[in-house]
Amino acid sequence: VTGASFVVFNGALKTSSGFLAKSSIVEDGLMVQITRETMESLRQALRDKKDFKITCGKADSEDVKEYVDICWVENEEKTNKG
């Protein structure tokens, strides 16, 4: 679990890169590089207020993957108040 001050979603990752998605820590935030198709799905999920999971890592690898979970919550007491 990584806490971050901000998240950047970059929809310019090429399918030919061999990655499902990439995540990296940038300063005190998180940058997630995703394909254009994943960006479209993410935007629709945000409009619909639906949870969304992004799987990061090589597409052909059996290694443990990283996940970026976007979750809508009812109770805001457990979220960052800043």
Sequence-ordered list of residues with C-beta below 8 angstroms from that of 42, at least 6 positions apart, any chain? 9, 34, 52, 54, 70
The total of structural domains in the chain comes to: 1
pLDDT band at 4 (very low <50, low <70, confident <90, very high): confident
Domain harbouring 55, CATH code: 3.30.1360.220
List pLDDT tens digits, range 60-71.
888 767 899 999
Query: Looking at the predicted structure, is the pLDDT value of residue 14 above 70?
Result: yes
Residues of the domain holding 10: 6-70
Residue for token pair 């969304």: 52
